[in-house]
Amino acid sequence: MKKRILIVGSGVLGAYLSEIFLKKFYEVYVGTRYLRKNYKNYKYLKIEKKIKFFRLNFLDKKEVEKTITKLKPDAVYYFAGQSSIYKSLKNPKSTLDSNFHGAKIFLNVIHKNRLNTKFFKANSGYIFKTLKFKKNLKYQFLKPNNPYIDAQVKAFKVVEKFRRLGVNCYSLIFFNIESPLKDKSFILNKVNDFIKTKKTNFLKVGDIEVVRDFSWAPEIMKGVFYSLNLKPQNIIFA
């Protein structure tokens, strides 16, 4: 029987990761709260017809448990979290639900059923304080000043809690990940659109003194694929 993975959420990162697993002859299932007629990210990569999409309410514990025990995936990649700070200010509850509560439900189900399933939770590198000129690997959390950071800190902590309880769970820590599949609010596509359309003479991008790490989605997802062979831990991709 082919190995199986379950990706929670049908966004950009999940599409690139699906492409890699398909090439390695895995069965790929994508659970999403809203079934669509067209999954544009998967269609762009020409893998839409190779994916098994199904509706999944990741906030319903019974539904999650039924899905996990039926599919018996080798790994679950939880990419369902709302990832915009701007949107989190408008929808703090959905941000907390998608980033923290949903992940906690999966972890509870895996722990309760004593499954060997590996659980990977996407998280943000911006939950940590910047410690200039420090040579140790100890980390400190930022004091949350928006619902997104608050939810991600809670998610990071709950993954570590269940890891101590014996669950094979990981925090995948990302910074800015770019891709042509991202919308025009992301910097790469924002600049690209400005150059192509030339609607204005100036491009407004915000504070240009801010230092950020940028990476390329297909490359980062290769790293995520290889992390399947690592022991449960927190992993930074940059």
In a domain, 49, yes or no: yes
User: Would you say residue 119 has pLDDT above 90?
Assistant: yes
Average of per-residue pLDDT across 113-138: 84
> What length does the chain have?
238
**Per-residue pLDDT, 85:** 73
Q: Which residues contact 27 (CB under 8 A, 6 or more apart)?
A: 2, 3, 4, 5, 52
CATH number of the structural domain spanning residue 94:
3.40.50.720
Q: What is the mean pLDDT of residues 183-196?
A: 75
How big is the CA angle at 118 (ends 117 and 120), to the nearest 5 degrees? 140
Calculate mean pLDDT across residues 85-95: 81
Residue 16 burial class via C-beta count within 10 angstroms: exposed 0-12, middle 13-18, buried 19 and up: buried
Is residue 199 in some structural domain? Answer: no
Give a yes or no: residue 41 inside a domain.
Answer: yes
Residue 184 lies in a domain: no
Tokens of 150: 């608050």
pLDDT digits (tens, 9 = 90+) for 58-75: 999 999 999 999 999 999
Query: Per the structure block, which two tokens stand in for 227?
Result: 């992390």
Q: Is residue 32 part of a domain?
A: yes
Per-residue pLDDT, 34: 82
23, 95 Cβ separation under 8 angstroms: no
Whether residue 122 is contained in a domain is answered as yes
Average pLDDT over residues 23-45: 91
Q: How many domains does the chain have?
A: 1
What predicted TM-score, i.e. pTM, was given to this entire model? Answer: 0.90
8 Å CB contact between 156 and 171: yes
Residue 70's H or E segment, with its range, is: helix 61-71
Domain holding 97, by residue range, is: 4-178+210-236
Q: What pLDDT is attached to residue 71?
A: 95
* In a domain? residue 31: yes
